[in-house]
Amino acid sequence: MAKHHVTATLNGSPVEFLCETQQTLLEVLRDELNLTGTKEGCATGDCGACSVTVGGRLVCSCLVLGAEVEGKRIETIEGMASGTELHPLQQKFLEHAALQCGICTPGMLIAARSLLERKPDPTEEEVRYWLAGNLCRCTGYNKIVDAVLAAAGEMRRA
């Protein structure tokens, strides 16, 4: 069968790609569109390294088919900074040393941004609950939570 021809909006720009039915959005992003910022940790929905938003909803791109995003709006880590200016979340992750190997970081950032869009002033508990689907093997989470809370504070003041 012919491949699917999909058109969508990726980080604000139109994008087109061809994919097989079984190809996930994660595979399309990394292998067809060469956007390797989104990571694969497990490919089964458990780790959150592949987090992106589709139509404004936070999802695991390893559990979405490429064919399903026809006409949809997709946001990935590549769209987070404006040119060379980092997003406040990215800046605070650096300041708080909220990453070591960095594999979980793009997913953490996308998930955290999705939280702050809904809740600009989250409690620590709300941050921990929202990020429970993002696993990190390095940091022990505290620095990540601190960075998210600090970024939330800065974004509220801005």
Ligand X SMILES: Cc1cc2nc3c(=O)[nH]c(=O)nc-3n(C[C@H](O)[C@H](O)[C@H](O)COP(=O)(O)OP(=O)(O)OC[C@H]3O[C@@H](n4cnc5c(N)ncnc54)[C@H](O)[C@@H]3O)c2cc1C
Q: Give the containing element (helix H, strand E) for 5.
A: strand 4-10
Q: Taking CB under 6 A as the rule, does residue 140 contact ligand X?
A: no
Q: Is 66 exposed, middle or buried (0-12, 13-18, 19+ CB in 10 A)?
A: buried
Q: Measured from the CB atom, is 36 or 129 closer to other proteins?
A: 129
Site residues for ligand FES, window 134-153 (CB under 6 A)? 136-139
Q: Taking the complex as a whole, how short is the minimal distance between the CB of residue 135 and ligand FES, in angstroms?
A: 7
Contacting ligand X (CB under 6 A), which of 3, 5, 46, 123?
A: 46
CB-based contact 133:111 (threshold 8 Å): yes
Stretch that binds ligand FES, among 13-21, 75-83, 85-93, 101-109 (CB under 6 A): 101-109
Contacting ligand FES (CB under 6 A), which of 29, 33, 48, 93?
A: 48
Q: Measured from the CB atom, is 80 or 138 closer to ligand FES?
A: 138
89: tokens are: 């979340």
Alpha-carbon Rg for the chain in angstroms: 16
Name the nearest CA neighbour of 148 among 100, 106, 73, 90: 90
